Structures are given as C-alpha cells and as structure tokens.
Amino acid sequence: MLTIKDLKDLHGKKVVVRVDFNVPQKDGKIRDDNRVRAAIPTIKDLLAKGARVILLSHLGKVDWKKLAKGEKTQEDIDAQMKKNNLAIVAPRLSELLGQKVNFVNATRGEEFDKACEALKDGEVLLVQNTRYEKGEEKNNPELAAIWAKQADVFVMDAFGSAHRAHASTYGIPEILKGEGKPVACGYLVEKEIANLMRCVEVKDSDRPYVAILGGLKVTDKIQVIDSLLKKCDYIIIGGAMSYTFRKAQGAKIGKSFLDEGALEYAKKCLEEAKGRIILPEDSVITDSFEPVSGRKISVVEGDLPEGFEGVDIGPKSAKKFAEIISKAKMVFWNGPMGVFEQDEFQAGTKAVCEAIRALKGKAFTVCGGGDSAAAIKQFGYSEDFSHVSTGGGASLEMIQNDGHLPGVDILK
C-alpha cells in the first residue's frame, strides 16, 4: 500500500482526498473540531507539494434508503440536508490551514466540474456533503466515476469511514486503480492502521495483553469479543455489558440493562474463557437512571437488590481491574465502565484511565470506540494513551476483522 510519503511528483496534479469531516454540531456550529484537525497534516503535505486538493467528506445522515421505503418523506430529507451542510466546515478548515478554502455547493454537474478545474497549484476545494448523493452509500458506479474523473491521484484519510465501501471511500480508488493511477493512504489512516494492527498481530513481548470492554450492548460487540478472546490473556468486562455476563453466571442484577438475546452467548464465552474473563465484584447502583433529586445511590457487592440498576463498577472492582491492568504489556480498551455522562457514575471509567496512565512508557495502550474516546478526552487522559483512535466503528471493525477494512484493503 502506498502512503502519502510515496507520492512525490504532485505538482499540478488534482488529488481527491476522502477526509472525515463528520463533525458534531450544535446550533449550526462545530462543537468539536478534532476531526478537521486530524486531517490537516495530510492536506498541508499535499498543498506543499503543489497539488490541487479536492476534499470529499460526508456529514451526518441523509436517509435516502428510508425515503425509498416510505419511512421518511422528501421534507425529512430536505431537513437532513439543510442540517448537514458541509459549508460550516470551510471557515474552520481555512483557519487551521492558514489559507483560503474554496467551497462548492454541488457534488456533480457543471458547477462541480468548473470548481475542480479552476483550482490552481497549492489551492484547496471543499466539496458539499457526499451524502447529498443517493448513490454514495450504495457505492453507485456512475457517481464514483463522476468523482474519479476529477482525480489524478486518490488519497484516503477518512479512517472513521474506512469500514464503509461507499462511492467516495471505495468506488473512486477502485476506478483509479483500474486506470493505473496512484491511490494512497494519508497520515491519519497510516497512523491508525499501524497502531491498531499491533493489537491484532500480537507479539510475545506484548503479553500479558489485556482487553477492557464496557459500554452498552453485548450484541453490538460479539465479533469484537470473539476476536479478543482468541488474542488476549485477560478480558476485563465492565459497563452495562457486565450485567448480562453476571446474569449468565446466575447473579441477580435487579433492573440493570440486560441484553437478553446475548445471555446464551455470554454463558458460552465464560465457559470457553476458563477464568480469563474478569467481571466486577461490586457495583454503584441507583433506583433511578434519570438524575432526579432524591434518587438513591449506593454501592453493593454481589447480587443487586430488586428495583435498583448497576450504573458503574464499584471501588473494589476498580481496584481489581487496576491490578490486572498494572501487569499488562498491551491494553486495548473499548466501552466505558459506567454511565460516564453523569458525574455520579464516572469513577469506574476514571479509575481505568488512571490505571492506564500508570502504564505510560511501560506498555502499549490503545482505546477504540466513540464513547470511550469521548470519555478519555473529557476526563483529560488523551495524552496518557499510546493511541486513541479517531474512528469509533472503524476501530472496532479493524479488531474484529483481523485488521481488514474495505476502504483500506482497496488501496492495496
């Protein structure tokens, strides 16, 4: 696979770059510009080499499929398009690059072609949301051809979208490869792959390899658990997920979140893991998930009382988890230990962050997953990890598919 460093002669070349500018927004403003920042090294490098850079990205959802099924109306689609106008990214991108960013409010047609063809060396063009196009998520070949026509070179730097074979992530490089034109990954994708591959291809020197899993549903993570069970020495399980496992062991879990459909699976895992799965011994419990005044919050060991739900791991579990983590040479973490969005239930997730901070310089530590990465950032631990992935779903698919992602494999 070519990386951006292998692309030398770019003067006057039109380089189409798939970036991930799918930023969270609030009231028409960017709430967190992390994803824009993450793409800057690649864009700057290309501009410095005299390329004419054309940026493609999606933003949010446009439910074309639901429209076709009659589950959404044209008005719904119009509202989604209005909400997900990629123009909001242009000013921030311009600030971060320190140069003018052209924006074209079209994804095909005369206006689009003209904007691409008017670019001069070292100039950058941001194209409207790729999901304004019905064919984007279907990897429609005509659409991919329209975009590929503007590209002498394709660079993939949208790690967060690399698990999707869409027209902009898969269709374009497929066409370019067929034409003998270069396709490469950008700096962000290169870094993500290097770090996540290490969690997939485990070396002896990386053992003990400890996985920490949490978050909501077992069902969402079955393939990840299967894959990690094969590779890891220990799997620590916290979060809502742990109650399905504890129920599978025969414990009483009150009204904790239960993933009923995954009970049998959890039983099977516990049998096969032969003691390598570590579950919480105590829980922070409450009678009300909603933060109403006067709700009861306490800590219990073992069985949960009726009418209460577990919303975080307790201090005893935090200590036990930290002890196992302290011996690790490699850690992969996905999923918060509790309802970290509420102050009262953050301690477990913070304790795991602390345990990982203590490994700094001694072990290779990675976090993948949208909410876990958000928690780490919120609590100020980003710098204490060897790597915090920018791709939620993509990082998990990378783990479960042994390092394969469609948007990366097509570059090879």
371 contributes a contact to Mg ion by CB under 5 A: yes
| CB 393 to ligand ADP: min, Å | 8
Tokens of 330: 């490699």
**Is 35 one of the catalytic residues?**
yes
**Residue tagged 């997900």 (tokens):** 84
Q: Name the catalytic one among 171, 186, 370, 392.
A: 370
Nearest to 234 by CA among 206, 199, 275: 275
Helices (H), 163-311: 172-178, 187-200, 222-231, 241-248, 263-273
Nearer to ligand ADP, 239 or 407 (CB): 239
Site for ligand ADP (CB under 6 A): how many residues?
19
311 contributes a contact to ligand ADP by CB under 6 A: yes
260 contributes a contact to ligand ADP by CB under 6 A: no
Tokens of 165: 């074979």
Report the partner that residue 338 touches, choosing among ligand ADP, Mg ion, none (CB closer than 5 to 8 A by kind): ligand ADP
CB-side neighbour CA atoms (13 Å) of 232: 31
In the shown chain, the binding pattern of residues 84 to 123 toward ligand ADP, with x for contact by CB under 6 A and - for none, equals ----------------------------------------
Q: Are 86 and 57 in contact (CB under 8 A)?
A: yes
Report the partner that residue 372 touches, choosing among ligand ADP, Mg ion, none (CB closer than 5 to 8 A by kind): ligand ADP
339 contributes a contact to ligand ADP by CB under 6 A: yes
Return the ∠ at Cα 17 (arms to 16 and 20), rounded to 5°: 145
Q: Are 108 and 143 in contact (CB under 8 A)?
A: yes
Report the partner that residue 334 touches, choosing among ligand ADP, Mg ion, none (CB closer than 5 to 8 A by kind): ligand ADP
Nearer to Mg ion, 312 or 371 (CB): 371
Site for Mg ion (CB under 5 A): how many residues?
2
Chain positions 266 to 295 lying near ligand ADP, rule: CB under 6 A, are: none
257: phi then psi, degrees, rounded to nearest 5: -60, 120
**Rounded distance, CA 199 to CA 209, Å?**
9
Q: DSSP of 99-153, one letter per residue? A: S-EEEES-SSHHHHHHHHHT--TT-EEEEP-GGGSTTTTTT-HHHHHHHHTT-SE
Q: Name the catalytic one among 13, 35, 164, 320.
A: 35
| CB 240 to Mg ion: min, Å | 11
- The correct pick among 336, 365, 387, 388 for binding ligand ADP (CB under 6 A) is 336
Q: Phi-psi bin for 369: left (phi > 0), alpha (psi -120 to 50), beta?
A: left
Q: Are 405 and 397 in contact (CB under 8 A)?
A: yes
Q: Are 22 and 32 in contact (CB under 8 A)?
A: no
**Helix, strand, or coil (residue 71):** coil
**Rounded distance, CA 345 to CA 275, Å?**
27
| CB 367 to ligand ADP: min, Å | 8
341 contributes a contact to ligand ADP by CB under 6 A: yes
**Is 370 one of the catalytic residues?**
yes
In the shown chain, the binding pattern of residues 360 to 379 toward ligand ADP, with x for contact by CB under 6 A and - for none, equals ---------xxxx-------
How many whole angstroms from its chain centre is CA 334?
Answer: 10
Q: Name the catalytic one among 66, 149, 207, 217.
A: 217
In the shown chain, the binding pattern of residues 201 to 220 toward ligand ADP, with x for contact by CB under 6 A and - for none, equals -------------xxx----
385 contributes a contact to ligand ADP by CB under 6 A: no
Residues that bind Mg ion (CB under 5 A): 370-371
- Catalytic positions: 35, 217, 370, 393
Binding site for ligand ADP (CB under 6 A): 214-216, 239-240, 257, 310-311, 334-336, 338-339, 341, 369-372, 392
